[in-house]
Structure 1
Amino acid sequence: MAVLLAGCDSGATGASPSAAPPAGVSVSLAQWRSDEPAHALQVAVRNTGETPVRFADVQLVTPSFATLPARRTDAVIKKTERTDLRIPYGAAVCSPRGLPEVRPATVVAHLSTGSEPPRRVVFTVPHPDPLLARLLRDECSEFLIKQAASIEFGPEWKESGKVMRGDLVVTRRGPGAVTLNDVAGTTHYIATPKERPLGVLEAGARRLEVPIELTPGRCDPHAFAEAKKAFLFPVRASIDGGEERVVIVTPPEPLQERLTAYAMRVCGLPAG
């Protein structure tokens, strides 16, 4: 169950003392597929008591991610096994020296019961939290590759029969030989490289273009209406023969529109 949140940051500020969570109220972290492109997650609230609790705002606090302002929720949580409050989370705190370990996290909320004023409550997230560990690993893996090179969709894409052909472009940013080992498809598109590995940006090279083909992975109309992750293409890459890491490469919006129109034509679906 999800609670619709207001689209603004909370005005509740200040370093007021923290109170213990109300009896029977606890939180955990989760993420739906639709949250991933928005860099958001769910604070899953459990209330086993009979007293409704009003969450005025919610905030994730951990050294592993940049702390964003509290998100206003104004959500009244009655007795429930799980009610989700959607909040954005900040960028991962990464290091060029390697992947960091996930740090402890808390969920800070201003909440109240009955007619009492809101009070600041800190919920401890069990450590290590598997969701935060995965998000940190994925984001910092991408960070490490991007220190050496950017990986982007090239500007020229041509439709050939039922196939869309174009290039991934790798552009030098820092030292090291960058190997593109593979590219995977998405929920909606199959990505087929000309060969595997796709190619190597040698240490002295500035630019590499590798050809790939895209074809529709599914043709049901519902798929195009729920295209949450249609354009998040995972590219597996490594630096100087080191550990393989994943970079999510997203085509620019004009190309996304072209790919959608192309896929609908190939699938025989009406435009719009």
Structure 2
Amino acid sequence: MPAVPGIEAEVRQWRTDEAVGGQVQVTVTDTGAEPFTVTAVAIDSAGFAPLPDRQVDVAFTPGRTFDLPTQYGAAVCDRAAEPAAVRLTVVRPDGRSEQLLVPLAAEVLTRIHAEACAVQAVLAVVDVTVTGLALDGEAAVGSVVLTRAGDDDRPVEVARLGGNVLYDATADVPATLAAGESRLELPVEFTVASCDPHVLAEIKQPYVFPMAVRVGDDDQVPVDLPLDPPQREVLAALVDRVCG
């Protein structure tokens, strides 16, 4: 993909982007001698489903760099994430508008793509759900359920379950959905790890609980517990009960 004179771009991802989900920063630099304004931005990569351009209004001058928050689509796992580009709509000083395809330094997209496709591969073998979540004293209890999703009969091991700075999550792991079995149910308990006001105010991902899952002899893959809005409300009510 040919370079675009006067414009360079790369992809970065900060912790705040991970908290938002599905977002990166496209870092654009005016490397030329003239100003320009970017009015739309989108990622162009065969490894991700295309999304509509995001409308922006960012004025660049020579030497200036700005981060443009940009969403990426669902991973397309039979395609590579790179090479990648960013599609920019640029308005020149004379008012002329043009759409440019600027090559991206996109190692971050390759990492995101690999992680997402590893999760897709696990979920092609087992569905993961959380059921029966309810308050029980100073805890919320329920079950993590793995249900075999297809014809792949390899054993599936839940190696560990992690909490975060606000909640501890405990389950009797490691545990295995053995070959020939269709369902594994693991009781799970959530408790409040901290009532510190700073933690309560600043936590970015309170409902992310990574579970390490291994299919057969494959590497472990971190799969987040899928908590729906009512289940998140249960956990929020737990914080109110314990810390209120």
Give the shorter-chain TM-score range.
Answer: 0.7 to 0.9
Per the alignment, residue 120 of structure 2 pairs with: 143
Q: Show the 5 A alignment for 1:149-228.
A: 149-160=126-137, 162-174=138-150, 175-176=152-153, 177-194=155-172, 196-197=173-174, 199-228=175-204
Q: Is the 1:20–1:121 contact (alpha carbons within 8 Å) kept by the matching residues of 2?
A: no
CA distance in 1, matches of 2:64, 2:233: 40
Per the alignment, residue 29 of structure 1 pairs with: 11
Per the alignment, residue 244 of structure 1 pairs with: 220
Q: Is the 1:157–1:164 contact (alpha carbons within 8 Å) kept by the matching residues of 2?
A: yes
TM-score, normalising length from structure 1? 0.79
Aligned amino acid, residue 145 of structure 1: V
Q: Which moved more, 1:105-114 or 1:151-160?
A: 151-160
SS of 1:132's partner is helix
Query: How big is each residue's C-alpha offset from its partner over 1:167-224, in whole Å with a ceiling of 9 and x where there is no partner?
Result: 1111120222211111111342222223x31x21223222211122222233233433
Q: Is the 1:56–1:118 contact (alpha carbons within 8 Å) kept by the matching residues of 2?
A: no
CA distance in 2, matches of 1:130, 1:242: 23
1:89 aligns with 2:89: no
CA distance in 2, matches of 1:66, 1:102: 11
> 5+ residue gaps in structure 2?
none
1:232 to 200, 208, 211: 208
CA distance in 2, matches of 1:234, 1:202: 21
SS of 2:240's partner is helix
Q: Is the 1:188–1:218 contact (alpha carbons within 8 Å) kept by the matching residues of 2?
A: yes
Supply the RMSD in Å over aligned alpha carbons.
2.4
Aligned amino acid, residue 109 of structure 2: L
Per the alignment, residue 123 of structure 1 pairs with: 102
Q: Is the 2:134–2:234 contact (alpha carbons within 8 Å) kept by the matching residues of 1?
A: no
- Structure 1 residue 80, shift from structure 2 partner: 5.8
SS of 1:157's partner is strand
Query: How big is each residue's C-alpha offset from its partner over 1:104-150, in whole Å with a ceiling of 9 and x where there is no partner?
Result: 10111110221231112221113xx3311220111011101100111
CA distance in 2, matches of 1:125, 1:33: 20
CA distance in 2, matches of 1:179, 1:53: 53
TM-score, normalising length from structure 2? 0.88
Q: Which moved more, 1:227-236 or 1:74-83?
A: 74-83
2:88 to 83, 106, 109: 109
1:40 aligns with 2:23: yes
CA distance in 1, matches of 2:69, 2:127: 31
CA distance in 2, matches of 1:147, 1:19: 38
Aligned amino acid, residue 182 of structure 1: R
Cα distance 1:264–1:81, how it changes in 2: closer, same or farther (>3 A)?
farther
SS of 1:154's partner is strand
CA distance in 1, matches of 2:239, 2:31: 48
CA distance in 1, matches of 2:84, 2:227: 33
Aligned amino acid, residue 159 of structure 2: N
* Count of equivalent residues: 241
- Structure 1 residue 92, shift from structure 2 partner: 0.6
SS of 1:156's partner is strand
> 5+ residue gaps in structure 1?
1-17
